[in-house]
Chain A
Amino acid sequence: GQNIDQPTEMTATEGAIVQINCTYQTSGFNGLFWYQQHAGEAPTFLSYNVLDGLEEKGRFSSFLSRSKGYSYLLLKELQMKDSASYLCAAPSGGSYIPTFGRGTSLIVHP
């Protein structure tokens, strides 16, 4: 199955920029998802990358390199409300069912 690797925890300062990395197995790649999950809530969709490059959506951007099996989520102008877990997910082996990483807990402090 898929093996998703992302850091367990990151901290950053309000107003700063943070990059959350994710690596995955490249075989049978069918796109990579990023979700945000606030404590005690369900995950919500942030982005879906299928092609290489950077996709920007407001303060959030997601990057993909298929040859390297690597993605990152870039959060700019951090706000306190961005404190949450960020989940990287990707299917493998030709499946369409994404395997989720354990998530990166981002703590934004003043």
Chain B
Amino acid sequence: GAGVSQSPSNKVTEKGKDVELRCDPISGHTALYWYRQSLGQGLEFLIYFQGNSAPDKSGLPSDRFSAERTGGSVSTLTIQRTQQEDSAVYLCASSLRAAHEQFFGPGTRLTVL
């Protein structure tokens, strides 16, 4: 693919519902990152994958957040029992390997009502 893609682009959900966000990285990129960005804020690191394993999950805000990556490619970020404070833009990025230039997807704007 030409770049990193994410779906959905927008998601509006009710408090307490579960949501699943998807990221398709650039083919061949071994490193994949999830961030979230609240309005006017910087990027908050959530989780990093190297291949299918996640050596660093330190940024996940709570146990309601989980992520997986399969086939060294697609990744899904799942948020269970969403809360209003989860509202943000969730960005996915991939890089050829760690410590390389990151290519970001367009993001998923999550709104929890």
Contact = CB atoms under 8 A, between A and B. Distances in A.
Interface of A: 30-31, 33, 35, 41-45, 48, 87, 89, 91, 95-103
- Which of A33, A96, A100, A101 is most buried by chain B, counting CB atoms within 10 A of its CB? A96
Shortest 6 CB-CB distances between A and B: which pairs?
A96-B98, A42-B104, A102-B42, A100-B43, A96-B99, A45-B101
Interface residues of B, number: 20
Given A95-B56, A96-B99, A103 B104 contact: no
A45 to B, nearest CB: 5
A48 B101 contact: yes
Contacts of B102: 33, 35, 43, 45, 98
B42 A33 contact: no
Interface string B35-48: 10000011101001
28 contacts: A31-B99, A33-B102, A35-B102, A42-B91, A42-B104, A42-B105, A42-B106, A42-B107, A43-B43, A43-B91, A43-B102, A43-B104, A44-B104, A45-B102, A45-B103, A89-B43, A91-B99, A95-B56, A96-B99, A97-B45, A97-B48, A97-B56, A97-B98, A100-B35, A100-B43, A100-B45, A101-B42, A103-B42
Contacts of B41: 102
Contacts of B48: 97
* SS class, residues of chain B in contact with chain A: loop
Contacts of B42: 87, 100-103
Contacts of A89: 43
Interface of B: 31, 33, 35, 41-43, 45, 48, 56, 91, 98-107
Contact of B101 (A33, A91, A102, A103): A33
A99 B107 contact: no
- Which of B48, B99, B100, B107 is most buried by chain A, counting CB atoms within 10 A of its CB? B99
A18 B30 CA distance: 36
Nearest to A31: B99
A97 B32 CA distance: 10
